[in-house]
Chains A and B, each alone.
Chain A
Amino acid sequence: MTNRKLTRRGLIAAGAAAAPALAALHETVPHDGLHDALAGDGRAHAAEHPAGGHAGHASGSGMAMHDGFGEATVDHAANGFDPSEILRDFDGGTTSRLPGGRTLREWTVLAQDKEIEVAPGISYPAWTYNGRIPGPTFRATEGDRMRIRFVNGSSHPHTIHFHGFHPDFQDGMPGIGEGRGGGTIENGEEFTYEFDAEPFGLHLYHCHVMPLAEHIAKGLYGAMIIDPPEPRPPADEVVMVMNGFDTNFDGANEIYAVNTIPFHYVERPIKVKRGELVRIYLVNLLEFDQINSFHIHANFFDYYPTGTRLQPTEFTDTIIQGQGQRGILELKFPYAGKFMFHAHKTEFAELGWLGFFEVEE
């Protein structure tokens, strides 16, 4: 026992001794233009995972607000999803024509229990739709028919409760519609939710099984976009689901993020073009402390609450959303450079809800 410990200590000591050499290498090898005064730089190539990787972290980076996890990152491949990909991953489903010319869109969603690395070195026993958090971003056009086959492969009962118009047995509400196949979907069972895509706007879905807080907090939620019949102007579109994780199950979140992984967009900023219209589909699915907010640096945006009207209600740089609230943000970046966005509740920001847009010419 003692011997093993000594060996391990010895290895780590050796690793620490190697750190200055690596730092020297870092200085001599030229790297991309991201290297500026900001402490967030250079992370893309410093991937070594998780604890112990800290040994190489030089204390020289100072105390920038967005220091986050230092050089450690989560293993996106093992998680099976990457927030950088979720950002622009809009799922229109499999389309076909219905008699009468309407579009039918079909999806299959599998509920799965899954360990997710929610922060470098911290695993969380999540419940997921299709193995990812947030679940797929469903996208349809108003008037389409949406058909979502839900298979419960989790060891717990689940549902999908969509925000929108539908009959009661399609509501994903336990105790309602079991006789018609709806209501609670037990492990190994399945049910197909089917409804018209309306009203246009930005909506959401989540599990509605009791205890509700747990079924949401564990990761069973996602965004649903219904485009207006006359499409919105072309834009670089991204989806941001604001969420958090209660890793120690004390009824409060230890981690806050957009699209699950804290500080992800610090490590890998969202690249957009200067002067190009950027459209953010922003949904708040934070459990426990549900009031969330969004603030963009050095910019203002048009805000369309719930996206159900085509006229913005506000031109601002900060908005607040309660749990289940959502809205569409439209903005253009007048300057190239790195611009932060974060919850304007600093506690959330410093616990992970923090990122950057990297605006290029």
Chain B
Amino acid sequence: MEAGAATERTAGAPPAWLLGAAPLALIALVIGLFALLDGPGLGERSGPPVEELAVERTVLRPGEIELRIRNDGPDAVQIAQVTVNEAFLPFEIDDSRIGRLGSSTITIPYPWVEGEGYGVAVFTSTGGTIEHEIPVAVETPEADAGFYGLMALLGVYVGVIPVSLGMLWLPFVRRVSHEWLRVLIAFTIGLLAFLAVDAALEGLEIAGEGPGAFGGPALVYLGALVAYLGLSGIDAHLSRRRAAAEEAGGGTAPAGSYLALLVAIGIGLHNLGEGLAIGSAYAAGALALGAFLVVGFALHNTTEGLAIVAPLADSRPSLSRLLALGLIAGAPAILGAWIGAAAFNPSAAALLFGVGVGAIAQVIVQLSPAMRDSRRRLLHPGAVGGLLGGVAVMYATGLLIAG
């Protein structure tokens, strides 16, 4: 009887969509009125305008310094003057008045000398200064075919080749006992955990350089959340199709080839971030492309190949499938290097690093069941040893890059 009454009420009332839209329309109306009346009752703003500018990109050409600046604060900013190393200089700016979240490019003719450091100060109309340091002046590479080629080569060196080489552990992985395989999976999880922490810290550092208005460090967390939820959603969707196979196999862990794909995607997203960092550092002249550094990155990333093949112990993937996995994990380094060198943006980079973190976290969650021993313990001695071993190897090979 009650249900019937409810239905009756619904029938006589306006449709649901209207009830949903009415508050929205009202909110729009109130905001419109508020803006039209210039915030009635609030009076004048207190204090001087807030001026926040962030330098997003520095380009050095012979005899010229170019800065791309973004207004990071709540108020419009008027650019008045520029000094380089404590000297006023004539400059050009495409739009000296920068609105909220707007950006502008300042070009300063200046005879900078390679290898020397420069401090640029941008003066606003109120006399405030925004200071930007160029620690080591190096000409910004022209984004031509040769440059993209070099970045691609770099991506291949630090991404594709080491990951592929690491995958050559597959025959070994096939031969080891189940006990040792669990240790290897734990080792892989250790590697991934290290990468996740590493990417998170790097993302947070880069986010600190960019404009805070876009979220700053929050972008890393948001990226991680989006990636984790996104991959979990895809996983839930795919697991329905996989359910039958799993029942047949009787195992609790997802199928090996599927896990390997997830690991490859996670590592690929991480390498995208790594490529981004390498590319932008190279473009900024902050990276010496020494053989030592490349070797360090290569060794560091070789272990990532092992992480991909570890879940493949029980399956017999084709060579083309293995190659595809290697490319999925390694090739994003090339893409990252291109983006990083040609169009580096701290906010976008922070978001990408966050995406890498979320992807790796999701992979770890997927991989963990495979670590369980026959008594279904997760952190059995072998697993703990493997985890610590993975972290230790990443730390040790990471030292090669830190130089």
Contact = CB atoms under 8 A, between A and B. Distances in A.
Contacts of A1: 99
B398 to A, nearest CB: 39
B88 A124 contact: no
B83 A54 contact: no
B32 interface: no
B92 A54 contact: yes
B147 interface: no
Interface residues of B, number: 30
Most buried by B among A51, A71, A245: A51
A124 B92 CA distance: 23
A207 interface: no
A70 B109 CA distance: 11
Contact of B102 (A5, A247, A263): A5
Interface in B78-132: 78-81, 83, 86-97, 99, 102, 109-111, 121, 123-129
Contacts of B129: 247-248, 250, 254
Contacts of B95: 8-9, 12
A122 B82 CA distance: 11
A352 B123 CA distance: 14
A65 to B, nearest CB: 8
Given A70-B90, A71-B90, A350-B86, A120 B80 contact: yes
A107 interface: no
Interface stretch (A55-63, A150-158, A296-304): A55-63
A121 B80 contact: yes
A122 B125 contact: yes
B291 to A, nearest CB: 38
Given A9-B95, A12-B95, A122-B123, A63 B78 contact: no
Contact of A248 (B79, B94, B97, B128): B128
B296 to A, nearest CB: 41
A119 B80 contact: yes
Contacts of A261: none
Interface in A217-273: 245, 247-248, 250, 254, 262-263
Given A9-B95, A51-B79, A351-B83, A247 B123 contact: yes
Contact of B88 (A9, A63, A119, A245): A119
Contact of B127 (A5, A68, A71, A248): A248
Contacts of A67: 88-90
Contacts of A262: 88
Given A8-B97, A12-B95, A123-B127, A57 B90 contact: yes
Nearest to B110: A63
Most buried by A among B87, B90, B96, B123: B90
Contacts of B110: 63
Most buried by B among A63, A70, A122: A122
Contact of A124 (B89, B94, B102, B127): B127
Contacts of B126: 122-123, 247
A188 interface: no
Nearest to B78: A51
A9 B127 contact: no
Interface of A: 1, 5, 8-9, 12, 50-52, 54-55, 57, 59, 61, 63, 67-71, 118-124, 245, 247-248, 250, 254, 262-263, 347, 350-352
14 contacts: A12-B94, A51-B125, A52-B96, A55-B92, A67-B88, A67-B89, A68-B89, A70-B91, A119-B88, A122-B125, A122-B126, A248-B129, A250-B129, A351-B86
Given A59-B109, A119-B80, A351-B88, 10 more contacts: A9-B95, A12-B95, A50-B80, A51-B79, A54-B92, A54-B93, A69-B90, A247-B129, A254-B121, A351-B83
